[in-house]
Amino acid sequence: MKIETSKFLKFFRIALIFIFLIVIFIFIFPRPKILGDIRCEKIKETPKYCLFNCSVSLNKCGNFNGRVVVTHSGWAAVHDEILNFTCNTSFLLKLPKRDYNYIMRFGVKEAGGFDSKEEIIFC
């Protein structure tokens, strides 16, 4: 009986080792690389708002579903937009004038994975 229990225990130990290695493997599995860069240029400023011309340039051409989010405090969005990115995509963005560093992030989904990149814009 003791031998059987010991066999079972060794089996569970091996199972745990596998779980451990699989978890590590899943996490360190290479993620999709950042697909490009985002730049925003202020083209107009009034006492109430700033208008930016933003362009996303991808390292890889094609059609990718992506998202642009601008946060105005820790986890709160003041702008959230779904975009279809090609090699170079540009869009206009109007933000309230608050003398504040907004954080803009863009994310692109590729092959089931995703990544994101951020840019600070002042308005």
Partner 1 sequence: MSVLAFVLFLQLFFVPGIIIYWKRREISEMIVKIIVSSTLINLFSFSLILLFRNVIDLKLVFLSFIFSLFLSLFIRTLNKTKRVSIKIEKSDLWLLIFLLFSFSVNFALFLYHKSIIGADIGRFGIISHAIFLKGKFETNLKPYDMAEDFFYFPSIILFPPLFELAGIDAVTFLSFLVFFFSSLYGLPVYLISKRLFNGESALASFFFSSFFLNPLINIGFLGVFPYAISIFYFLSFLYFILEKNKDFIAISGSLIGIISFHAYLLFLLVPFLLSLSFLNLQAFSFIVNKKFWIFLLFFSSFLVPYLFKTYKSFLVSFESDKKLDIFMFSTFNRNLPLIQKLQFILFTSPIGFSKNIFLFIGFLVFLFALIKNYKKFYFGTKFLLLSFILSFFLIFASFDDMNFARSIWINWFFYSIGFALIFNDNKLNLLLLLLIAVNKMPPSLFSYFDLRPTYDKGQIPWIVWNSFYDAISFIKYNTSENSTFLIDGGGAGCTGASASYGERIFPLTSRKIFYFSDYCWARYDENEYRKRVSLYREFSINPSDEKLIKKLKEYNITHIFIGPTDVALNKSLFYNSSFYKLIYENRDFKIFEIL
Which member of 44, 87, 88, 113 binds partner 1 (CB under 8 A)?
113
Q: Which of 28, 32, 52, 27 minimizes the C-alpha distance to 108? A: 32
What span, in angstroms and rounded, lies between the C-alpha atoms of 57 and 85? 9
Which member of 39, 79, 83, 119 binds partner 1 (CB under 8 A)?
79
Strands 49-58 and 36-45: antiparallel
Would you say 12 or 86 has its CB closer to partner 1? 12
State the number of binding residues for partner 1 (CB under 8 A).
49
Convert residues 47-76 into a mask of x (bound to partner 1 by CB under 8 A) and - (unbound): -xx-----------------x-x-xxxxxx
